[in-house]
Amino acid sequence: MGGTMQGFACAPVERVRVGIVGVGRRGEWAAKRLSKIPGLEVTALADVEEYRLAEGNAALKSEGRAEARTYLGPESYKAVADDPAVDLVYITAPWPVHVPAAVAALEAGRHCAVEVPCAMTVEDCWRLVETAEKVRRHLIPLENCCYGEEELFALNLCRNGVLGELVHGEGAYIHNLAAENFAEVDGCTYFTALRGTWNRWRVKWNQIHDGNPYPTHGLGPICQYMGINRGDRLERVVSMSSRQAGITAFATRQFGAASPEARASYKLGDVNTSLFHTAKGRTIMIQHAVQSPRPYSRINLISGTEGTLCGYPLRVALLPDSDKWLKDEELADLKEKYMHPLERESGELAKKVGGHGGMDFKMDLRWAQCLQRGEPMDADVYDAATWSCLTELSERSVSAGSMPVDVPDFAGKSRM
């Protein structure tokens, strides 16, 4: 066994049995969503809280599906990996669990789909790559933003050469999460219909790390537009962070200046900006801002020699009249002409199923189709590693005064 995972395809798996690790909000939603895909069956659930396992089975029951076997405890992911009635392990647990659960799944001979970022360190990115290569099983990054209607449209424009030769991209995760981080703290009136993160793991990460801990929503789509790991690669990155003020300001307003939340130390800067240079001389800017009073945006800009697409709101400018955006009717015509086949086939159903406007469903539908047909995945373990490694590399660059840091060539095997 062993070998490159580029273009890897396994024998078709017509009936895919799925074990979900981590049945919080994402896991519960996944159970309902996966139940709507023909040929998929959720057969196992794992979590550290018994009530979440019950909620996961209630979600399956609401979709007319049989209850799944349940595994309880901090290492219950091992039991899912060893379950003979599981073909793919679907990991929606907190960030620190992603790599141990994925490695356990791969080493047990299961395929795995991993929430993002798939790993938090460069060493763990290599661990995923080397394990997947050794056992020859898929590791699929669950990057739903690659399947947004706008992102699929942009991808089709790029692949059809409408924007010309691509030279620059911009992506981001701009999403004010200050309130949600404290959703389970007494006295927090925001997000009362939602549960906060288990054991406040995201807040704890922000207390000890800087840089960009959640890069893939912005970076993944841009890398796909540019063919990163498929003819081009990320060479180096420079990163800098603003000071931290947003979490402290929110906690002070919400809980009072003397509260433990307001007096705690938080290291993560309010805004992080990272700039990549690729082997073909392209540039990519990625931002992270989760505690600033800014409307949600992933920016999603891709620019070439013939035109530019920019999101939030969606705009396109094309030569010869590129000094202004296309008019609404012109943009509508372009969207219809270059609608991605997946969007055309499944977009309306995805919107009905839901999940971030339907992109979650399209993501799951697509990897399921690839597995069932025995086809390569849209994104593989090298993409998972490349998109995720900015978590450590950005922090490393920030701590070194924004000095350039080399990006490992995971697909080319230049281990650093």
What CATH number does residue 133 fall under? 3.40.50.720
CATH (domain of 402): 3.30.360.10
What is the predicted pLDDT for the residue at 354? 87
Question: Is 359 domain-assigned?
Answer: no
Q: Give the domain extent around 238.
A: 146-341+376-406
- Whether residues 128 and 89 share a domain: the answer is yes
Is 391 within the bounds of a domain?
A: yes
Residue 51 in any domain: the answer is: yes
Q: Which residue, 119, 144, 169, sits at the end of a domain?
A: 144
Judgement on whether residues 134 and 170 belong to the same structural domain of the protein: no
User: Quick one: which of 71, 353, 397, 408 has its CA closest to 211?
Assistant: 397
Q: Residue 226 falls within a domain, yes or no?
A: yes
pLDDT for position 1: 62
| Residues 23 and 169 grouped into a single domain | no
Residues 122 and 180 in one domain: no
Same domain as 223, residue 135: no
362, part of any domain? no
Whether residue 168 lies inside any domain: the answer is: yes
**Are 180 and 194 found together in one domain?**
yes
pLDDT at 190: 40
Number of domains in the chain: 2
- The predicted pLDDT at position 414 comes to 55
Q: E strands within 260-379?
A: 272-278, 283-289, 301-304, 307-310, 315-318
Q: In the chain, which residues have pLDDT < 50?
A: 185-195
Same domain, 138 and 151: no
User: Do 235 and 99 reside in the same domain of the chain?
Assistant: no
Do 126 and 175 belong together in one domain?
Answer: no
167 and 113 both lie in a single domain: no
Q: Are residues 189 and 139 in the same domain?
A: no
Residue 237 lies in a domain: yes
Tell me what pLDDT residue 191 has: 38
Per-residue tokens: 214 = 């959640």
Per the structure block, which two tokens stand in for 227? 């063919």
In a domain, 357, yes or no: no
Answer for the pair 203, 197: CB distance below 8 angstroms, yes or no. yes
Torsion sign across C-alpha atoms 25, 289, 356, 121: negative
Same structural domain, 105 and 188? no
Q: Which two tokens stand for residue 52?
A: 């979440």
